[in-house]
Amino acid sequence: MQRRRSSKHSKQPLQVHHSNQTDLSTWRKGGTVGTEKSAQNHQSLSDQKNDDEQDSLEQALSYFVKSLPPEGFDVLLDVALSGKLADTVNTRLLKSLIPASAIPESSIVSSVSWFCVSKCSSNIQLLFLRWLITMFDFIDHKEGVHALYGIFFSFLNDEKLCPYICHVLFLLTRKENGESSFGMQPHLQALLSLYKLFCPELVSITLPQKMKTYFKNADGPWKAAISAVRQRNLAKSAVPQPLLLGTAQPRSRKRKWNTQLIVPASSANAQHFLVGGKMSRVDSYGANRAFPVEQLQTFPQLLQNIHRLEFPSQMGSVLTNPLLLHYMNCSKDESVYLRLYYWMGQTLQEECTWCVVDNNQYEEEFKGFLETVYKAECFLQEGFPSCEEFLYRSLPLWDGVSCRSQILQLITWIPLSTFSEMKSQLCDPLAQLFFTSSLYFKCSVLESLKELLQNWLNWHVVQLDSESDSQFSSLNTTLSGLVNGVAELINFVGRISTAALHLEKSHTFLLHFILDFYETVCDIYPKYKLPLLIMPPAGVFYPALLSMDSVNLNQLCYIMDFSSCLNFEFWVYKSEIEISAFSPHVRQR
């Protein structure tokens, strides 16, 4: 535990900039700070100290978004050196004063005056000197600073400040300044050597020839960090920070080892070399050896070896292998499905780019993975339970942007059975996103809901065919469930369509997608044999009727025409269903 804590504290260097980028924009007061505000700062020293500190801190913090423009130095140096705030804050302030272009001389002069007044603590004074040394090259004009030479010189007496003062003087010294001084310390020697260079007559002591390095580049790391920040700010582009959800885990930069986004290649179970190794010696003459899964290339091969084929060691690899998907479809072994369920469920949860911090940089990979899952679902013509659970869990948190098309595609394979229970998990977040997003998103959602409906209806038809020779009419119970589910979906779409048409002022494109959905709805009875007839609601019907575009009118006419033909036959069929619901012995026509 001790170890961990100390490592936390050592992560200090200039983290200010990295962590502050977007969060402190909430602190920002509108507009830039003018000179009258800085005058206010000076005046109101005596009254309401707390408010003042708060103001200055807020002003100070408002600059933290990027490196400073020249006008910012005035204010911030005043704040830092006037001793109004605590030392730690002043330290942070000084350390973050990085110029975007140059530092105005006037700010340096005024800050030196603060320095002389010694309102701030000696540590801050020291830090200011170090800052000055580091930033010396950024000061635009140095005449005024040179004029302060004498002031700096007077601080040589202070032991703590002496080395840094010397360094400053070293930087400032020109031919005009020549004075004798005392002591043989390296910094003084450096200064004296410079003096000797300019005015040999005044310097009477002899200096050793050897020492060449006088001022250690103590602030090398600081300088490096500064150049890094400046470079970054030059090439800056806005990167949206992810919303922090859940507990943040400190993941290292490189990809973590347990990621399974790359679907593994099919390989035989290594255990066969172990356990099977003992067995195969016995079986080598028998025909029961397992067919190695890597050799499975063609469909005829699958048919020939289907009795001795084994699944690969990692079930995930079947997703990209259509032959193995076929095999999985025929397999009755529950463990096959369980393995796939756990693997897919865990991978989806772990790699979800909007639920887990740090994952949004891997969005492309996650998109690819979702595509693979979708293609497998299309191949099998049914959804995976783990995928469905993932959608129910993550849709309430979805932003509508990450992996949009992939998620909308995956929604189309949600089975009806769970829909009724989980309706709120699916419909509420979808409706929220629907109303607050663009026209194209609305159309995409409508299209995916239409495909969802079609998948349900196709499934129903397949069920009908497979159960056509079943004894009992269990069809009734599933039928009513199906009818209810479908009706719920259609009503949901009706409600959101009505509202959307208001929002988008009956946009043609949107109306086209809505009417497309209702075309599928009016096919329910004739094509899919489900006794359900739902007309478009008034909020959809009237905009379509009154629209100026022929496309929409055409679609509307098609819907109306179909429905009117169906009516009589529909009611007969429906009543038959209801009769047979009460008397199970009556067979369906």
Q: Pick the stretch among 12-20, 44-52, 509-517, 522-530 that binds other proteins (CB under 8 A).
A: 12-20
Q: How far is the CB of 274 from other proteins (least distance, A)?
A: 5
Quote the CA–CA distance of 21 and 233 in Å, as a whole number.
11
Comparing C-alpha atoms, which of 206, 205, 145 is closest to residue 177?
145
- Using the minimum distance from each CB to other proteins, give the nearer residue, 313 or 476: 313
Give the integer Cα–Cα distance in Å for 456 and 392.
Answer: 18
Q: How far is the CB of 213 from other proteins (least distance, A)?
A: 33
Spell 156-171 as b/e; 16+ CB within 10 A means b.
beeeebbbbbbbbbbe
Show the binding pattern over residues 337-356: x = contacts other proteins (CB under 8 A), - = does not: -xx--xx--xx-xx----x-
**Nearer of residues 433 and 475 to other proteins, judged by Cβ:** 433
Closer CB to other proteins, residue 278 or residue 589? 278
Residue 249 engages other proteins in binding (rule: CB under 8 A): yes
| Cα 131–Cα 134–Cα 137 angle in degrees, nearest 5 | 120
Stretch that binds other proteins, among 5-13, 479-487, 510-518, 569-577 (CB under 8 A): 5-13
* Nearer Cβ to other proteins (335/575): 335
3-class SS of residue 93: helix
Q: By CB under 8 A, is residue 243 in contact with other proteins?
A: no
Q: How far is the CB of 246 from other proteins (least distance, A)?
A: 4
Q: How far apart are CA 495 and CA 493, in angstroms?
A: 5
Residues 64-103: x/- map of binding to other proteins (CB under 8 A)? x-----------------------x---x-----------
Regarding 398 and contact with other proteins (CB under 8 A), the answer is no
CB neighbour list of residue 445: distance below 8 Å, 6 or more residues apart: 408, 430, 433, 434
Burial class (CB in 10 A: 0-12, 13-18, 19+), 297: exposed
HEC states along 424-475? HHHHHHHHHHHHCCCHHHHHHHHHHHHHHHHHHHHHHHHHHHHCCCCCCCCH
> Under 8 Å CB-to-CB from 475, ≥6 apart: which residues?
464, 467, 588
- Pull the structure tokens for residue 23: 């969060």
For residue 559, give every residue at least 6 positions away whose Cβ sits within 8 Å of its Cβ, in sequence order, or none: 515, 518, 519, 522, 536
Q: Least distance from C-beta 260 to other proteins, angstroms? A: 6
- Listed ranges 73-81, 391-399, 426-434, 508-516: which one lies at the site for other proteins (CB under 8 A): 391-399
Please identify, among the stretches 121-129, 162-170, 264-272, 555-563, the one whose residues bind other proteins according to the rule CB under 8 A. Answer: 264-272
The answer to whether residue 262 forms part of the interface with other proteins (CB under 8 A) is no
CB 84 within 8 A of CB 56: yes
Nearer to other proteins, 314 or 480 (CB): 314
103 strand-pairing partners: 139
Can you tell me the distance from the alpha carbon of 247 to that of 335, in angstroms, rounded to the nearest whole number? 33
State the distance between the two ends of the chain, measured CA to CA, in whole angstroms.
Answer: 75
Q: Residue 396 interacts with other proteins (CB under 8 A)? A: yes
Binding test (CB under 8 A) with other proteins, winner from 393, 423, 495, 574: 393
Which residue lies nearer to other proteins by CB, 315 or 486? 315
Closer to other proteins at the Cβ: 16 or 581? 16
Name the residue among 535, 537, 533, 534 with its Cα closest to residue 498.
537
How buried is residue 301: exposed, middle or buried, by Cβ count under 10 Å (0-12/13-18/19+)? middle
Alpha carbons within 13 angstroms on the beta-carbon side of residue 97 total 34
Nearer to other proteins, 13 or 221 (CB): 13
Q: Which is nearer to other proteins, 195 or 343 (CB)?
A: 343
CB proximity list for 288: less than 8 A, separation 6 or greater: 308
Tell me the residue type at 47: D
Judged by CB under 8 A, the number of residues near other proteins is: 52
CB of 250 vs other proteins, minimal distance in Å = 6
Q: Which of 110, 260, 417, 478 binds other proteins (CB under 8 A)?
A: 260
We find the least distance from the C-beta atom of residue 354 to other proteins, in angstroms, to be: 12
Q: How far is the CB of 410 from other proteins (least distance, A)?
A: 17
Q: Tell me which residues in 309-328 interact with other proteins (CB under 8 A).
A: 313-315
User: What mask, x for binding other proteins by CB under 8 A, covers residues 14 to 43?
Assistant: -xx--xx--xx-------------------
Footprint (CB under 8 A) of other proteins, residues 270-289: 270-271, 273-275
What is the DSSP code (8-state) at residue 333? -
Query: What's the min distance (Å) between Cβ of 495 and other proteins?
Result: 26
Closer residue to other proteins (CB): 75 or 133: 75
Q: Which residues bind other proteins (CB under 8 A)?
A: 1, 4-5, 8-9, 12, 15-16, 19-20, 23-24, 61, 64, 88, 92, 244-247, 249-250, 252, 256-258, 260, 264, 267, 269-271, 273-275, 313-315, 334-335, 338-339, 342-343, 346-347, 349-350, 355, 393, 396-397
